[in-house]
Amino acid sequence: MQLGIRKLIQFGRTVEDYTLVSILIGMMLLAVTQIFLRNIFESGLSWIDPLVRIGVLWIALIGAMIGTRKGGHISIDILAQYIPEHLKSVLVRVTSVISASICGLMSWVSIKFLIEEYEYGITAFGSVPAWPFELIIPIGFSVMTLRFATLIITGHQEEDS
């Protein structure tokens, strides 16, 4: 059972990494294409700019997910240098409770936002609905919530193999 969970976690990590790289490469190709079209043909494709902005959203949230996975997220650890070693896991747990709460709240609010985007028929570009592109918001915050919840339980960063 535990081996299956580890394989699932590793698969999720791989999906995060490859998705981040793929989106970044795709954004660069789209941006270069748009520059080429504007400079050579004095026109461009109207859907490229909004799609690149969506890519920035995805990169930011996937990057945040990877940051929480690797312990590279922004943290204020001024207390960590002044407290004894045996209390550091307590500090990690306390800060993780706060972080998990904030990310959990953001997950909830982003789900409500997504539902409103769907109900009002907001479009990303042309007649393409925006909500599928915004799915990364609740997914990203939910994954970060789970990672901080793991820190609450364990008191230390998960190993990234």
- The span from the CA of 107 to the CA of 44, in Å, is 36
Secondary structure of residue 76 in the 3-state scheme: coil
Per the structure, the count of domains in the chain is: 1
Asked if the structure places residue 25 within a domain, the reply is yes
- Are 97 and 104 in contact by the 8 Å Cβ rule? The answer is no
Average pLDDT over residues 122-128: 92
Asked if the structure places residue 109 within a domain, the reply is yes
Average pLDDT over residues 28-47: 93
Asked if the structure places residue 89 within a domain, the reply is yes
Asked if the structure places residue 133 within a domain, the reply is yes
Of 131, 117, 133, residue with least CA distance to 56: 133
Asked if the structure places residue 131 within a domain, the reply is yes
Asked if the structure places residue 160 within a domain, the reply is no
Asked if the structure places residue 93 within a domain, the reply is yes
Q: pLDDT, tens digit, for every residue of 46-95?
A: 999 999 999 999 999 999 999 998 887 766 667 777 888 888 888 888 88
Asked if the structure places residue 21 within a domain, the reply is yes
Pairwise pLDDT comparison (109 vs 85), residue with the higher score:
109
Over its C-alpha atoms, the chain yields an Rg (Å, rounded) of 20
pLDDT at 78: 72
For residue 117, give its domain range. Answer: 2-154
